[in-house]
Structure 1
Amino acid sequence: MLFRQLEYLVALSRERHFARAAQACYVSQPALSEAIRKLEEELDVPLVRRGRTYEGLTPEGERIVVWAQRILADRDALKDEVGALRTGLSGRIRIGAVPTATGAVSLLIDPFCAAHPLVTVDVQADLRSEDILRRLQNFEIDAAVSYLREDVAENFRTVPLYQERYVLLTSAADNLGRRTTATWAEASRLPLCLLTGTMQGRRVLDELFAEAGVRPTPRVETDSVAALFAHVRTGRWASIVPHAWLHVFGIPPGMRAVPLIEPARTVTIGLVMTAREPGSVMARALTEIARRTDLAAALERLPDNSVSQ
């Protein structure tokens, strides 16, 4: 059995198409098909349901893919570990992030890159929290910055980073924009642009609105926090954004960021990794940086609203 055969099988499982899997592996489709056929012969089980087109993996194939992902992840972790012992940490780390936390990820990556100058970073942003956990389990990313829900803390290793809190982003000319605070009930009556309902960040907002006894009816929904800022800038819409994003865009001209109260609840954002040992040397190095970096302090103060006037 060759590592390359396992890579082909994992790629086929991911791409669900022989030609796309071959392209992802930089080989011809016949070469990929033949390697998988030989793997089937060696394991003495059918791995792929073949017809006129790709019809999916067999039950045996689905189980073998899980083992293949583990074996390939351990191989990569071993190579990284040996490389780190010989010349220092090098290679590529893959970090996933939910949209609401993407603006804070740079505050973690900056000290990480300073400590490990030979490492390159691949940030996979705007992922749903469910997709992040799946990618971690499938070894498609090394670590993630996401919501630390109860089920996450139970099944993964986590490092709390900061408390996500929320502000009403609105026009400086709006009545609420001239206030020092606003309530969730007041915000619900504005023409809102919010994240889509399938995203964890939006579900958190809906819980807070429900706690205030209201239910928002946004006219515009998007999967991008940057798009929320763009819509508010038109002057037609208001939005609710995580305070961490104000440290990326500041408070754009003509806008105000008003802290939300009643309730004034926060949600924990943290670093998430698989619980397997010894695990990825990249993830361990990022964990050390996360424990030494005070993201909460860096994000604590809101930018001065006066800059937008």
Structure 2
Amino acid sequence: MLNKLEMFIALANERHFGRAAEAMGVTQPTLSAGIKQLEAELGVKLVQRGSRFGGLTPEGARTLDWARQIVGDAKRLREEMRFSREGLSGHLRLAVIPTALTWASRLAARFSAAHPRVRFTILSRTSAEILEMLENFETDVGLSYLDNEPLGRVTTRQLYRETYTLVTAPDDPLAGRSAVDWADLVDHRLCLLTPDMQNRRIINRAFMEAGLSPEAGMESNSTVVLVHHVEQGGWSTVLPVDMAQSLATGRNVALVAIAPGTPGPAVGLVAPYQEPQTPVLQTLIDMATEVAQQN
């Protein structure tokens, strides 16, 4: 039944039989047959069918909650048994807000050095997408903001608080200053992250608190694009310090600290609440705690 539950979860996530089959690595007829067999075993209709996927029935929605719990428990059991046989090994999927990718790489590199048999997949996603992926078991852990959106029932470990820097041209009048305030940016031509990114909403709020409402002349969901745009001339952007320092290396841009008016937003690991955690995930959480204490 476990494999059929995994098929059912994939179908609920993808909302399309073909994409769900592809995600499971099976043919569409195999997936359809597995869903029908699951319905027969449970004695209820789970999926509204027509010429295409029509959604879950009320029984299907309830089954989905159970399926996620059962599949999650089975995964933890397998991880526990593998740990008892082989030590720490496996595969960790980490979904990360774009502005924290440097921290994700740092944490993964440190973890891999200590536990080389654990593989990582790191994906860049928005904070909202990370929560959805955690709920759907599409990622094992997130690296995201901790205090700006409802997180639900999760385990969190704060890594750091975000502070910001202005990325601008070397000949910008502000480039020679040791620090600036948000109000100093009022006349700058800004390129910023897109409004669906929580970092953009945080920056907008900082401007509002300074009594400003500047518009972005260019928006992107890529921090690399923003810094490259600044390098082309005539533009400025605002990024977290760690990300700005990483992207500015070797580029013809200047970095100027933005004096924080209040403590910046907390960023850290977000993992599904479960007891016990898998050995790999618990080790990552413990390492994040050590990194935070050293920061």
Q: Is the TM-score greater than 0.5?
A: yes
| 8 A contact 1:128–1:199 mirrored in 2 | yes
Aligned to 1:214: 212
SS in 1 for 2:72: helix
| 8 A contact 1:251–1:257 mirrored in 2 | no
Aligned residue pair count: 295
Query: 2:177 and 2:293 mapped to 1: Cα distance?
Result: 28
State which drifts further: 67-76 or 260-269: 260-269
Q: CA deviation at 1:252?
A: 3.9
Q: CA deviation at 1:134?
A: 2.0
| 8 A contact 1:108–1:295 mirrored in 2 | no
The one-letter code of the counterpart of 1:276 is Q
The one-letter code of the counterpart of 2:281 is A
Q: CA deviation at 1:23?
A: 2.1
Compared with structure 1, are the counterparts of its residues 138 and 199 closer, same or farther at alpha carbon in structure 2 (3 Å cutoff)? same
Q: CA deviation at 1:251?
A: 4.0
**1:238 counterpart = 2:233:** no
SS in 2 for 1:178: coil
| 8 A contact 2:191–2:226 mirrored in 1 | yes
Q: CA deviation at 1:151?
A: 5.8
Aligned to 1:289: 287
- Matched ranges for 1:166-185 at <5 A: 166-185=164-183
Q: Percentage identity across aligned positions?
A: 37
Aligned to 1:15: 14
* Structure 2: stretches of 5+ with no match in the other structure: none
Query: 1:267 and 1:20 mapped to 2: Cα distance?
Result: 37
Structure 1 residues 181-209: Cα deviation after superposition (integer angstroms, max 9, x where no partner): 12211213200000111211011101111
Q: CA deviation at 1:54?
A: 1.7
Structure 1 residues 24-63: Cα deviation after superposition (integer angstroms, max 9, x where no partner): 2222222211111111111111111111222122121122
State which drifts further: 128-137 or 42-51: 128-137
SS in 1 for 2:51: coil
Query: 1:295 and 1:169 mapped to 2: Cα distance?
Result: 28
Query: 1:296 and 1:196 mapped to 2: Cα distance?
Result: 32
Query: 2:100 and 2:210 mapped to 1: Cα distance?
Result: 24
SS in 1 for 2:69: helix
SS in 1 for 2:216: coil
Q: CA deviation at 1:170?
A: 0.2
Query: 2:213 and 2:235 mapped to 1: Cα distance?
Result: 17
SS in 2 for 1:24: helix
Over the aligned positions, Cα root-mean-square deviation in angstroms equals 1.8
| 8 A contact 2:127–2:197 mirrored in 1 | yes
Query: 1:158 and 1:182 mapped to 2: Cα distance?
Result: 32
Aligned to 2:75: 76
SS in 2 for 1:293: helix
Query: 1:215 and 1:295 mapped to 2: Cα distance?
Result: 36
| 8 A contact 2:166–2:256 mirrored in 1 | yes
Compared with structure 1, are the counterparts of its residues 181 and 158 closer, same or farther at alpha carbon in structure 2 (3 Å cutoff)? same
Q: CA deviation at 1:159?
A: 1.2
- Matched ranges for 1:1-309 at <5 A: 2-125=1-124, 127-149=125-147, 155-261=153-259, 263=261, 265-294=263-292, 297=295
Aligned to 1:302: none
SS in 2 for 1:219: strand
Q: CA deviation at 1:220?
A: 0.5
Q: CA deviation at 1:281?
A: 2.5
The one-letter code of the counterpart of 1:148 is L
Q: CA deviation at 1:87?
A: 1.1
Compared with structure 1, are the counterparts of its residues 166 and 181 closer, same or farther at alpha carbon in structure 2 (3 Å cutoff)? same
Query: 1:150 and 1:214 mapped to 2: Cα distance?
Result: 21
SS in 2 for 1:175: coil
| 8 A contact 1:162–1:296 mirrored in 2 | no
Compared with structure 1, are the counterparts of its residues 137 and 15 closer, same or farther at alpha carbon in structure 2 (3 Å cutoff)? closer
